[in-house]
Amino acid sequence: MNKDLLKMEDLSKDEILDILNLGDQLKYELKHNITHHHLKGKTLGMIFEKSSTRTRVSFEVGMYQLGGYPLFLSSNDLQIGRGEPIQDTARVLSRYLNGIMIRTFSQNEVASLAECSNIPIINGLTDDEHPCQVLADLMTIREKKNILDGLKVAYIGDGNNMAQSLIIGCLTVGMNISLAIPDDYMVTDYYINKGNEIAKNNDLTFKIVNNPREAVLDADVVITDVWASMGKEKEVNERMMAFKGYQVNSELMTLAKNDAIVLHCLPAHREEEITEEILEKHSDTIFEEAENRLHVQKAILVRLMK
């Protein structure tokens, strides 16, 4: 693996499968009370410029279970909140820590942190990508379907960080993916071009449409996310209008395969992007997906920091 995990593109298919396999192993060991202190004596700094439930708790608990020490670093507590260049922060923290997880807005900030650090940097979420969540999604899909190759994933909603990381992640492991996204909320050209390239090289299907019914047809997996992510709160009313018809509901799910599963990275806005009925029907899978953030991130930490 690379020194860092900044985006899904950093991982090959073999590296993704290696992380999933190790995640499965660590999950089994935890369930059977088998200690795995792979990172004993190691320290992970966790920089948060965006609020978090799953990211903070899963990384903090995961580092503890691996025998290491997690250090929560709010942007309000760091000098970067007062204007210190990220490059200077990176050089200092590299001398104290064994790794850094950062959850922030700008992908460039994560890249700059990695460029100036000699310790592993993990992207806990940016406006461009959410690789840790997508790895948890892939882990969950494989648990429920036993395979990844050849499955069809349908994503319904905003062309946000989840959509962009799903394009790269799903195609890299051999899944087909169709996305239904309104034109005004499209993923960036980079991810469209990269998706087309991966799909063509591996004889896979990748398409983006405006009609959710077309995207969901015969899907094995249906994924959605909130219509207004963090930082988009002022656009809520506008987005509610734009995404009308993009709800994952019982009618839409009749077009997917009978045994299709539904995933949501959470938090969910029930009766907006997903109905209460569908979320509760698939709640076991959705909350297993949330749990798998813990296991897959522990695997990432081990591979980068051990």
Give the pLDDT confidence of 120-153 residue by residue, as tens digits: 999 999 999 999 999 999 999 999 999 999 999 9
Query: Are the beta carbons of 241 and 272 closer than 8 angstroms?
Result: no
Both tokens of residue 43? 């320290």
Query: What per-residue confidence (pLDDT) applies to 231?
Result: 78
Buried b / exposed e across 176-188, counting CB within 10 Å, b at 16+? Answer: bbbbbbbeebbbe
Pairwise CA distance, residues 224 & 196, whole Å: 21
Query: What per-residue confidence (pLDDT) applies to 82?
Result: 65
Helix (H, G, I), strand (E, B) or coil at 120: coil
Mean pLDDT of 40-61: 95
Query: What per-residue confidence (pLDDT) applies to 158?
Result: 98
Mean pLDDT of 143-170: 98
**Average of per-residue pLDDT values in the chain:** 96
Query: Are the beta carbons of 12 and 20 closer than 8 angstroms?
Result: no
The CATH architecture annotation of domain 8-130+293-300 reads 3-Layer(aba) Sandwich (3.40)
Query: What per-residue confidence (pLDDT) applies to 83?
Result: 73
Q: At how many degrees (to 10) do helices 161-172 and 13-31 cross?
A: 100
Query: What per-residue confidence (pLDDT) applies to 306?
Result: 94
Q: Is the pLDDT of residue 81 over 70?
A: no
Give the pLDDT confidence of 194-229 residue by residue, as tens digits: 999 999 999 999 999 999 999 999 999 999 999 998
Backbone angles phi, psi at 241, to 5 degrees: -75, -45
Residues of the chain with CATH 3.40.50.1370: 8-130+293-300, 132-291
Query: What per-residue confidence (pLDDT) applies to 137?
Result: 99
Mean pLDDT of 79-103: 88
Q: In what order do the strands lie in the sheet with 176-180?
A: 206-209, 176-180, 152-156, 221-224, 261-264
Pairwise CA distance, residues 245 & 156, whole Å: 10
Backbone angles phi, psi at 290, to 5 degrees: -65, -40
Mean pLDDT of 62-69: 98
Question: Which range is least confidently modeled, 64-78, 96-110, 268-282?
Answer: 64-78
Query: What band does 278 get if pLDDT is binned at 50, 70 and 90?
Result: very high
State which fold the 132-291 domain adopts: Rossmann fold (3.40.50)
Q: Is the pLDDT of residue 183 over 80?
A: yes
User: What predicted TM-score, i.e. pTM, was given to this entire model?
Assistant: 0.97
CA angle 6, 4, 126 (to 5 degrees): 20
Q: Please report, in range form, the residues annotated as the binding site for carbamoyl phosphate.
A: 52-55, 79, 103, 130-133, 265-266, 293
Mean pLDDT of 262-289: 98
Query: What band does 85 get if pLDDT is binned at 50, 70 and 90?
Result: confident
Residue 69: other Cβ atoms inside 10 A:
17
Query: What band does 33 get if pLDDT is binned at 50, 70 and 90?
Result: very high
Pairwise CA distance, residues 156 & 216, whole Å: 8
Catalytic amino acids?
A: 103, 130, 133, 225, 265, 293
Q: Is the pLDDT of residue 78 over 90?
A: no
Query: What band does 51 get if pLDDT is binned at 50, 70 and 90?
Result: confident
Q: Please report, in range form, the residues annotated as the binding site for L-ornithine.
A: 161, 225, 229-230
